[in-house]
Chains A and B, each alone.
Chain A
């Protein structure tokens, strides 16, 4: 993964005292980091907490970030280490009361518990994915191709322009119009 010019600029701003610039990095990477942490920690609430802790650790460590790797690569390592530390601490924690033993019994039947905990969130995730896929299906072919090549295949505007045999400016406009159409359906869902 190459270094993002935008990430580099945001990191430099944070390193020079602009805390708000770090918010943009969090907004950009939060879902990927939570998803990553979820591979180590199966409880969604724990995954959220660990992801937050990882972002705070990253903020504190940013003065030492020299940009030798991409910001996400660096953030990835912090998130994985935070998740592993969480598991290590959890495995060392002694059972202190009968209440804890009850908790363990409940957690062992955890699969049902987790799904009982978060039906609204699960529904929302499925709704988000369904809404986005339906919106893309409804797009004209040129917009659908442009957004798919960009978001799924990860091609640059230049490569998409070659693949679609059109100027780069047209690619930029098509991707923007595709996003506008998807966002029009997505925004009301998130505001519910």
Chain B
């Protein structure tokens, strides 16, 4: 074991190797001489900190022999679905937020003359698919009142919510349209 590797081992003992730690551990596991140095370097620290027991003995061999007869540990890896849960949740939340913003803006803004269609957002595919059902022509926009468009938004949102499992109004609740009362 050359001096450079021994210095690396000293830094590993101090937990001061970040990027090289894995390769230093590989070297350590393959080299019995390096293991002896690892043991003595820790012994020096234990002694200086007053951690030496009354009776010094290297018990590692006995533990190692006992563990040799134990079954090898193979810890289960995390399921990919578990890893994806936060991502999926975030994507759904972002989609719902985008739909809500888009529709509220649409409901509040009067249609611009000469604009052939309301431009659809390309934030997410599912947003686009929902939004496609809401395309209205300029003529429709001009003909519809804000209340009508708001009603359409509520109906569309409720249908979308049922398909995606997003919490909202329960499906058995009847949608009540906001109708303009005209008095004669």
Measured between alpha carbons, how far is A55 from B49 in the docked complex, in Å?
A: 22
Residue of A nearest to B9 (CB): A176
Are B55 and A179 neighbours in the complex by a CB distance under 8 Å?
Answer: no
Measured between alpha carbons, how far is A31 from B56 in the docked complex, in Å?
A: 8
**B: contact size bracket:** 35 or more
Are A121 and B73 neighbours in the complex by a CB distance under 8 Å?
Answer: no
Measured between alpha carbons, how far is A167 from B74 in the docked complex, in Å?
A: 42
Of A9, A128, A175, A176, which is within 8 A of B47 by CB? A128
B52 at the interface (CB under 8 A from A): yes
| Contact pattern, A 27-42, Cβ under 8 Å of B = 1, otherwise 0 | 1101110110010000
Q: Which residues of A contact B68 (CB under 8 A)?
A: 19
B4: shortest Cβ distance to chain A, in Å?
10
The A interface is mostly helix, strand or loop, or mixed, namely helix
Q: Which residues of B contact A5 (CB under 8 A)?
A: 15, 17-18, 21
Measured between alpha carbons, how far is A73 from B51 in the docked complex, in Å?
A: 15
B53 at the interface (CB under 8 A from A): yes
Q: Which residues of B contact A28 (CB under 8 A)?
A: 38, 42
Of B16, B22, B29, which is within 8 A of A24 by CB? B29
| Contact pattern, A 170-192, Cβ under 8 Å of B = 1, otherwise 0 | 00110110011011001100100
Are B7 and A62 neighbours in the complex by a CB distance under 8 Å?
Answer: no
